[in-house]
Amino acid sequence: MLHQTIQAIQPLNQAAMDQALARQAELTKPAGSLGRLESLSVQIAGMTGQINPSLTNRAVIVAAGDHGITAEGVSAFPSAVTPQMVLNFLNGGAAINVLARQAGARVIVLDAGVAAELPTHPNLINAKVALGTNNSAIGPAMTRDQAVQAVEAGIKVVTEECQNGLQLVGTGDMGIGNTTPSSAICAVMTQTDVADVTGRGTGIDYPRWQHKVEVINRAIAVNQPDANDPLDVLAKVGGFEIGAIAGIILGAAAHRVPVLIDGFISTAGALIAAGLAPLSRDYMIAAHRSVEPGHQIMQKHLDLQPIFHLDLRLGEGTGAALAMPVVASAVATLNQMATFSDANVSGKL
């Protein structure tokens, strides 16, 4: 499935982009005056192959998983919070539920590796690879086969959604301790010092931050992940939900569906996806830039410019949900504004 999905990803549709650019030049406004909305409309035309795609069928897919490395004391919260928050998502009470409702999006939870058995729910996809990863500070977080399984879990859920009409997707995450593997992935794949990409996560103090940096350095030293092999990096220092996010991105790109990348953990998944399929990067839209120091480094590596700077650091897909109306507005302005000839306006402003 992974190989077939990568092979299915195609370059952006240049003819649709040219058509969108030509229309932008005819709209009743000074050239470039709608700023990023203009470039987004052209990019989305290239993704979808249409200058006026419908983007009403929206979903945020929240991938969840636990991490063995929390045994090293890298998080301010216990792992028991992961399944508790998943239940909160399913009950509609989390920030992502509120913001998704505002954005007209469904919330789908993908259990890629929560360390607890969760109840059946119509909005929960059970694709559990294992009950959490192993402790990467002492050995690989998972096997290579498990890494592939995690990525393919993401591909499968988004493929089914696309086949049922999904038109715009956002990535989200839940997993106590997951800024630690995300920092490790960032450090390895961008070749940056661990201390420069590691933040305070859920709000740890300075001594625990120092400990977190030491633990990540130890995980990298113990496992020696190969930066040129994204699956090796994922297997050795990553997380099941990070792999699933990479799969969501790859699957969306294969179906020409725009994918809004949320925060630090989602962008770690984007690094894996882009490493596996460089063309997938063209289907990514960075929703925001979080306060995690590694997020900017990841986005620069991927050449992604965020829509928002709102000092978010929650995850869950909250930034992706917030950005959905902006993306829809970009398409609407391209297609619903009058041209100079339509409006009988003389000349171009």
How far is residue 171's CA from residue 152's CA, in Å, rounded to a whole number?
Answer: 15
| pLDDT recorded at residue 201 | 67
| pLDDT recorded at residue 133 | 98
| pLDDT recorded at residue 76 | 82
Q: Please give the model's pTM, rounded to 2 decimal places.
A: 0.96
What are 267's two structure tokens? 């962008």
For residue range 277-290, what is the model confidence (pLDDT) as tens digits? 999 999 999 999 99
Any idea which fold 58-326 has? Answer: Rossmann fold (3.40.50)
How far is residue 304's CA from residue 298's CA, in Å, rounded to a whole number?
Answer: 9
Going 204 to 209 to 213 to 215, the CA torsion angle's sign is: negative
Instruction: Mark whether 241 is an active-site residue.
Output: no
Q: Write the single-letter amino acid at 297.
A: I
- Looking at the predicted structure, is the pLDDT value of residue 172 above 90? yes
Segment 232-253 shows an average pLDDT of 98
| pLDDT recorded at residue 202 | 66
Residues in the chain: 349
- Looking at the predicted structure, is the pLDDT value of residue 203 above 80? no
Please, what is the average pLDDT of the chain? 96
Of 195, 146, 225, nearest in space to 293 by CA: 195
Choose the catalytic residue: 38, 161, 292, 316.
316
